[in-house]
Amino acid sequence: MKTELLTIPCVAGHEEEIAHAAALLREGALVALPTETVYGLGADALNGAAVAGIYEAKGRPSDNPLIIHVPNDLSWLSRYCRDVPELAWRLAERFWPGPLTMILRRDPCVPDRTTGGLDTVGVRCPDHPVTEAIIRAAGHPIAAPSANTSGRPSCTTAAEVLEDVGGKIAAVVDGGPCAVGVESTILDLTVTPPRLLRPGGMPLEDLRAVCGEIDLDPAVLRLMGEGERPRAPGMKYRHYAPHAPVTVVTGDPDRTAAYIAARADGKTGVICFEEYRERFPWSVVVSLGPVSDKGEQARHVFSDLRFFDQTGVQQIFAQCPDPDGLGFAVANRLKKAAGFHVIELEGEGP
Ligand code: TXA
Ligand code: MG
């Protein structure tokens, strides 16, 4: 199949391409869409056959449910969810559009294919005007996992989407690089207190300011053992991993840099903070961004992980941000890429 590339930088002046993308989705085709977090691989969420195509194009296990994307209009929440708690309305009012996915009871009109047979559904309103316009024109919610091949790092540019699923889907909408760079934060609102299933682009601190207490699902912090079932089925899979094994080193950046420098040779890839670039002269180095700029780190983490697959490195070390704010999501993605192979250095200074 030839994948059409639709370049749609903004809504104004691109009404025809937007209508075309929406028509493809209505016909049951797969269209990759930009969001503020990462690119999504979209299909009509109410069309089971179209949704089945997503699993095939990504090579995604069929028990891993999809989240649905809706426009910034609260009435869509009542259309596709049941028993929506008061807190969900408050969160939607406060944080839509934005990088928050809420797990709620599903309405039976959402097919099993979309929810992986669960009686809940993840709902989010992406903060990208082009994609919002496409969803409105399609008239149905759009199911969209991250557009990467299953197991690879997520895609934050249209070029990366083409690399992974080009030739397998009808079209890719190029709406520019993603502004946030890590996927949405997933909050399960079917339990009390609400439970964080995946840290993401919406910092936990911001959610706690509205929700109060939030539990952390164990899959957020560690590798699940045999037989353990994380509440977000996708969290049990090996994820984001480059071909070479990754080791994450946490702690004071001066110390983590020294630790890595002592072990980094010509066959080593290093993901480091911008300030430490020069410390690994023999190795293949990519910057995560400055120590204090977690927004920049979030925008880089996936392309950094992807980068090493074009090189011959045999091991990868990564410096890791502290878990405040967006650092929680960045650290989580690095640790997942490492299969939670983490070296924790205590104390300060080298
Ligand atoms: O930012 C994002 O959320 C991106 C963009 C495209 O919107 N999408 C995304 O989708 O990251 P995906 O499929 O790559 O990750 C969604 C995660 C998976 O781990 C899945 O298991 C979990 O959400 N999930 C989906 N529906 C769920 C449900 N009903 N209950 C629990 N977990 C669910
Ligand atoms: Mg994904």
How confident is the model over 223-254, as pLDDT tens digits?
Answer: 888 788 888 888 777 688 889 999 999 999 99
Residue with CA closest to ligand 1 atom 6: 40
CB 36 within 8 A of CB 99: yes
User: What does the pLDDT average to over 191-209?
Assistant: 98
CB 211 within 8 A of CB 88: no
Confidence (pTM): 0.97
Q: Where are the alpha helices (DSSP H) in the chain?
A: 15-26, 48-58, 75-80, 86-95, 112-115, 129-138, 158-165, 204-211, 253-261, 294-307, 327-337
**pLDDT at res. 84:** 98
CA of 284 to the centre of ligand 2 (A): 26
* Lookup result for tokens 């899979």: 237
CB 198 within 8 A of CB 220: yes
300: exposed, middle or buried (Cβ count in 10 Å: 0-12, 13-18, 19+): buried
**pLDDT at res. 348:** 64
Q: What is the DSSP string of 230-278?
A: -SSGGGGS--S--SS-EEEEES-HHHHHHHHHTT--TTEEEEEEGGGGG
CA of 32 to the centre of ligand 2 (A): 13
Residue with CA closest to ligand 1 atom 17: 234
Residue with CA closest to ligand 1 atom 33: 232
Query: How large is the greatest C-alpha to C-alpha distance in the chain, in angstroms?
Result: 59
**pLDDT at res. 43:** 98
Q: Which ligand is nearest to the CA of 149?
A: 2
Tallying the residues shown for the chain, one arrives at 350
Question: pLDDT for 295-313, tens place per residue?
Answer: 999 999 999 999 999 999 9
* Lookup result for tokens 């691989």: 41
**pLDDT at res. 350:** 58
Among candidate residues 118, 103, 183, the one with its CA nearest the CA of residue 148: 183
User: What does the pLDDT average to over 268-285?
Assistant: 98
Alpha-carbon distance 345 to 9, whole Å? 44
237 CA closest ligand 1 atom index: 19
CA of 228 to the centre of ligand 2 (A): 20
Residues in contact with ligand 1 by the CB-under-6-Å rule are 35, 37-38, 40, 64-67, 99, 101, 103, 115, 118, 120-122, 124, 126, 144-146, 183-184, 186, 197, 231-235
